Amino acid sequence: MPALELRGLTKRYDDGTVALRDFDLVIPDGAFFGLLGPNGAGKTTLISAVCNLIRITAGEVRVFGEPGDSLLARSWVGLAEQDINLDRFLTVRETLVYHGGYFGMTKREAEERAAEMIRVFDLEAKADVRAPRLSGGQKRRLQLARALMHRPRLVILDEPTAGVDFELRLELWRYIRKLHENGTTILLTTHYLEEAEELCDEIALIRGGRLLARDTADGLRERYDADSLAEVYVKAM
Ligand code: ATP
């Protein structure tokens, strides 16, 4: 059973912009899959469609075989959005427990899972500190931990390292890799070929709402010369 299946996915926004056109994609269970494309390619639209944040114009989304808008499918997906959007009045622990409650966990379950996430993401020293007092790296780690609270089978990371410096990028990569090693399927969007190459076993190139190619990083480098690849990614380092 694939983790994610998109069939004929099309999104036309109210102003007529077609952000995704007849998009087909199948991501196997356990994959570390990258979506690589320039600004405006349709990456965030695709994620929003999978996470039921927008209404799709046509097509179908299935998550582990279930319709994407079903309760089961929703409970299987975790999203770490591109922008940091933490509640400034909640501590690290409260942020996690609150999110667990949102996904129907009992208080006790949520507290236990939050303690585990705090350990995994090395946030013990900051557990009772409110979000605005965290460093940039700690905020990103908390955002990741929050996305994992309800034990999603498919984790979507929307440009998890956009705008972060080299050191922090390496640090975040370590956490993300660990997550995948534990069996979680990952869909990551990025502008950076190096990031996709470093982490993903397969990459889809997307531009203008269409799938240009799907291959391993090596395969893409063989198929495209550096100039054509440079049109769809941004050099990161
Ligand atoms: P970035 O890398 O800059 O985040 P992206 O690949 O995520 O880009 P999207 O944000 O999905 O791309 O945008 C795809 C297209 O849809 C763009 O042309 C964008 O301007 C347009 N678009 C996105 N959201 C809306 C909206 N709410 N209304 C109208 N057009 C939109």
- The partner residues of 9 in beta bridges, in order of sequence, read 23
Task: List the residue whose alpha carbon is closest to atom 9 of ligand 1.
Answer: 42
Question: Which residue type is seen at 66?
Answer: E
Q: Is the CB–ligand 1 distance for residue 41 below 6 Å?
A: yes
Task: List the residue whose alpha carbon is closest to atom 17 of ligand 1.
Answer: 40
Q: Is the CB–ligand 1 distance for residue 37 below 6 Å?
A: yes
Which ligand 1 atom lies nearest to the CA of residue 44? 7
The structure's pTM equals 0.91
Q: Cα-atom radius of gyration of the chain, to the nearest Å? A: 18
Residue with tokens 């320039």: 38
User: Each residue of 158-212: pLDDT tens digit?
Assistant: 998 887 888 888 989 998 999 999 899 999 998 888 889 899 999 999 989 999 8
- How many angstroms does the Cα of residue 19 sit away from the middle of ligand 1? 6
- How many angstroms does the Cα of residue 66 sit away from the middle of ligand 1? 26
User: Each residue of 122-155: pLDDT tens digit?
Assistant: 999 999 999 999 998 899 999 999 999 999 999 9
| ipTM of this predicted structure | 0.97
User: Each residue of 64-110: pLDDT tens digit?
Assistant: 999 999 999 999 999 999 888 899 999 999 999 999 998 999 999 99
Determine the residue of 35, 43, 54, 190 to mutate for testing ligand 1's pocket, defined as the one with the most ligand atoms within 8 A of the Cβ atom: 43
Q: Is the CB–ligand 1 distance for residue 48 below 6 Å?
A: no
- How many angstroms does the Cα of residue 41 sit away from the middle of ligand 1? 7
Locate 215 and state its tokens.
Answer: 């291959």
Burial of 98 (0-12, 13-18, 19+ CB in 10 A): middle
Please provide the DSSP assignment of the chain as one string.
--SEEEEEEEEE-TTS-EEEEEEEEEE-TT-EEEEE--TTSSHHHHHHHHTTSS--SEEEEEETTEETTSHHHHHHEEEE-SS----TTSBHHHHHHHHHHHTT--HHHHHHHHHHHHHHTT-GGGTTSBGGGS-HHHHHHHHHHHHHTT--SEEEEESTTTT--HHHHHHHHHHHHHHHHTT-EEEEEES-HHHHHHH-SEEEEEETTEEEEEE-HHHHHHHS-HHHHHTT-----
